[in-house]
Structure 1
Amino acid sequence: MSVEPTTYPGYRFPAEVIHHAVWLYHLFSLSLRDIELILAERGVVVSYESIRRWCLRFGTELAAKLRKRRPRPGDTWHMDEVYLKTNGELFYLWRTVDQHGVVLDILVQERRNATAAKRIFKRLLMGLKYKPRKIVTDGLRSYGVAQREILPGVRHRTSRYLNNRAENSHRRSRKLCLAVKRPRSPNNVTMPPS
């Protein structure tokens, strides 16, 4: 069992404050300035730029720890894709959500075909290491092709009304794509809190 360090060499604040700021940023949909205000309310005066650097430096480490502690997701997967325009190019954001609304995985790809659907299925199976009982998708035929090849024993339902859980999960991504907040590259599309 790894013990958390009390301080990080070269950082003015204790590790507890740094971890709390990074945790707030990655778990909730808060801006860096919101986190700066929350910490200031608790008596910790730190700039949003320092919080940004902490998130870049310690974010992946914390995200991996949170992913390990995450409970096993449900056995029904809702899958959907939405297009995003970044720097004038069209990309597709593929998102998978379980029946409780927990985001299992997202993937940004240039195409919306069977190969792209197979890639998201393989990535999910590799990361979660178990098969779902049922998959719910919209009417895109690429899901059916990928499901028949990769998960032949899994029940597949196609309905635009049953897939509302995945559709609602795209709300934050759609807000991000407003003209002012549009991501400049497909790598800037982050996983929202679940």
Structure 2
Amino acid sequence: MDVILLCVRWYVAYSLSLRNLEEMMAERGIEVDHSSVHRWVVKLVPLFEKAFRRVKHPVGRSLRMDETYIKVKGQWKYLYRAVDKEGNTVDFLLRAHRDKPAARRYFEKAIAQNGEPEIVTVDKSGANLAALEALNAGRPTPVKIRQNKYLNNVIEQDHRAIKRIIRPMMGFKNFRSARIILSGIEIMHMIRKGQMRGDGGTKTAADQFYSLVM
């Protein structure tokens, strides 16, 4: 089990391909097939995510939201993400399309998991604005919407940490595995940013990750 957990953590924490991990394990005298690592990641990451959401620190109520491109089976898909003004990750959601329904589904998930924001900053995307306006139409207290490309630099910078990890993966083979692997990468990224409760400031990021399922 220790080898399985190590491979899963390394895959979502560092810029490594599955074959990189196969070679690294072989150097340690451990025979691991790259396809096995992929199966372990797809099976275990949903458990890590479920556990992490129970111990995630609350986020601020001023959000910066944006989406970034992710290649799945040779086609571009869209990872919707937001951070608060301190740079803490609010939530994430992979969608097949970049449009109003996709943006609205993201906001619905983020609000359900993290509570209602007071203000959301988006870029000049009409789809994101339309999604927020549609949500506001049914709310007694509307969320304030701010469109400002430059204020969203913090989320654009945060995208880079995710994209850096997935670069060696050379694109995902299917949507389901992409969604699961990206959630593992996001969890590790949030742990590194100190978004997990109960660490006491003494546990390493690796120990915090393992503690989610041990």
Question: TM-score scaled to structure 1, two decimals?
Answer: 0.69
2:89 counterpart of 1:94: no
Q: Which has the larger radius of gyration?
A: 1
One-letter identity of the residue aligned with 2:58 = R
Partner of 1:65: 51
Contact 2:81 2:93 in 1 (8 A): yes
More helix by share: 2
2:91 counterpart of 1:105: yes
Q: Distance in 1 between matches of 2:111 and 2:159?
A: 22
Q: Distance in 1 between matches of 2:169 and 2:6?
A: 29
Extract unaligned runs of 5+ from structure 1.
1-14
- Residue correspondences, number: 176
1:1-194 equivalent positions in 2, closer than 5 A: 19=5, 22-23=8-9, 25-26=11-12, 28-29=13-14, 31=16, 33=20, 47=32, 49=34, 52-128=38-114, 130-151=115-136, 153-175=142-164, 181-187=170-176, 188=178, 190-191=182-183, 192=185, 193-194=189-190
Extract unaligned runs of 5+ from structure 2.
191-214
Contact 2:73 2:173 in 1 (8 A): yes
Cα drift, residue 80 of structure 1: 0.5
Contact 1:87 1:184 in 2 (8 A): yes
Q: In percent, how many aligned pairs have the same letter?
A: 24
One-letter identity of the residue aligned with 1:87 = K
Coordinate RMSD, CA, aligned: 3.4
Cα drift, residue 139 of structure 1: 0.8
**Higher-RCO chain (CA-CA 8 Å, sequence separation at least 6):** 2
Cα drift, residue 154 of structure 1: 1.6
One-letter identity of the residue aligned with 1:65 = A
Question: TM-score scaled to structure 2, two decimals?
Answer: 0.64
